[in-house]
Amino acid sequence: MNTFKINQLIGVAIFLFSVFVAVPYAIAASGRWDFYYTLTSVALLSIASAGVWLTFYIGRINIGQGAFALIGGYVSAILVTKAGLSFWLTLPLAGLFCAFIAVLIGLPILRLRGVYFAMVTLVLTEVSRLTMLALPITNGAKGIVSIPLPGALSIFGLTLIPDFSMLKNDKLAFYYVACVLMVICFAGMYRLVNSRFGHLCRSLQQNEELASSIGVNIAYLRIVVFAISSFLGGIGGAMFVAISQSIYPSSFQVSDSINFMLNCFLGGLGYVFGPMLGTLTLYFGWSLLFELGKYQLLIYSSLLIFLMLVLPNGLLSIRFSKMKGVQK
């Protein structure tokens, strides 16, 4: 697995080309500028979903990613507005803060399994929403609004990222940033899963007792994975806040947490790039159904139920044999 095959390299090249060259070109040609927002959202949501996928990888159902996205968003928003830090500094800080929270919460709850873990993480999402409503620093239900756009990032006088408020087309800039983050995230995930660490995680997924009996430090491994997962959630949430320039306690709620989980299922739990595919399908499916007006939710949920009836083991029971080459 560690040696790249030639068709995998071609696949990666095609993917990068289409994301960074073909899509902007197509959008410029067709004039559908609103697609940038959709695609940026997909990129960011797939980062958060990648975190959920990683917790699935150790055999835990995580429905708490909305909480970490919310926390990450608030950390970034508060640091930018109250402390006046640069957004590019707050982005990793938001992720690290989420990872720290995840370690604190993870110590007790990662001992739970299956449905129990799912329940606790779901409760966590709701509790974080209520907390953001109540804490004085988060400004309650009014939320934090008119957050300034990300400023310039320069190292040793070399401007890496220009000031977003100076740009004519900040949508394109956000699109590029989100895609770069997404590519880094999934490249990192791919590396992680195909490393020794990834193999250990797979042993957890199959049988924790057995893994621990042959000397795998399961408690440590679980915490690290949960922290990485939450880190990704925080990054996704913080970036989202920078784009919408506002955050409310309802920005990420229970339904978002459930959607993150659905993204992973839809894309397939066996593939690192599953969350990306799942987010794309689900987000675009939802947007396409928007034309149906008030029947949107009805048809969306019926399709979901129908999918479960036809493929009770998830979409992963279909082999993505044709698409696999393109994705990897």
Partner 1 sequence: MEQVIVNALYLGSQYAMIALGLTLIFALMNVLNFAHGQMYVLGGFVTYTIYGRLGFPFIVALLGTAVTLAIVGALIEYFLFRPVIRRSVREESTMLLAAGIAFLLDAVILLVFGEKQRGVPKILDGVFNWDFRIILPYDRILVCVLAIMSIAGFIAFMQFTKTGRALRAFAQDRVAAELMGVNVDRYSMIGFALGAMLAGLVGGLLVTITGVNLGMGGPVSIKAFMMVMIGGAGVISGAIAGGFILGALEAVGLAVLSQYGDITYLLIFASLMVFLSFRPQGLMGKPWG
Q: Point out which residues bind partner 1 (CB under 8 A).
A: 61, 105, 107-109, 111-116, 118-120, 122-124, 126-127, 130-131, 133-136, 253-255, 258, 261-262, 265, 294-295, 297-298, 300-302, 304-305, 308-309, 312-314
The residue among 23 and 133 lying less far from partner 1, judged by its C-beta, is: 133
- Among candidate residues 59, 26, 35, 15, the one with its CA nearest the CA of residue 222: 59
In the complex, the smallest distance separating the C-beta of residue 262 from partner 1, rounded to whole angstroms, is 7
The residue among 254 and 326 lying less far from partner 1, judged by its C-beta, is: 254
SS3 233: helix
Residues 6+ apart with CB under 8 A from 175: 24, 36, 39, 40, 43
In the complex, the smallest distance separating the C-beta of residue 78 from partner 1, rounded to whole angstroms, is 17
The residue among 59 and 234 lying less far from partner 1, judged by its C-beta, is: 59
The residue among 19 and 58 lying less far from partner 1, judged by its C-beta, is: 58
Q: Are 246 and 147 in contact (CB under 8 A)?
A: yes
Q: How far apart are CA 85 and CA 56, in angstroms?
A: 34
- Among candidate residues 40, 67, 39, the one with its CA nearest the CA of residue 51: 67
The residue among 7 and 317 lying less far from partner 1, judged by its C-beta, is: 317
The residue among 179 and 264 lying less far from partner 1, judged by its C-beta, is: 264
- Among candidate residues 284, 192, 243, 189, the one with its CA nearest the CA of residue 69: 243
In the complex, the smallest distance separating the C-beta of residue 11 from partner 1, rounded to whole angstroms, is 29
In the complex, the smallest distance separating the C-beta of residue 153 from partner 1, rounded to whole angstroms, is 35
Question: What is the C-alpha radius of gyration for the chain, rounded to an integer number of angstroms?
Answer: 20
- DSSP state letter for 160: E
Amino acid at 13: A
Q: How far apart are CA 139 and CA 78, in angstroms?
A: 10
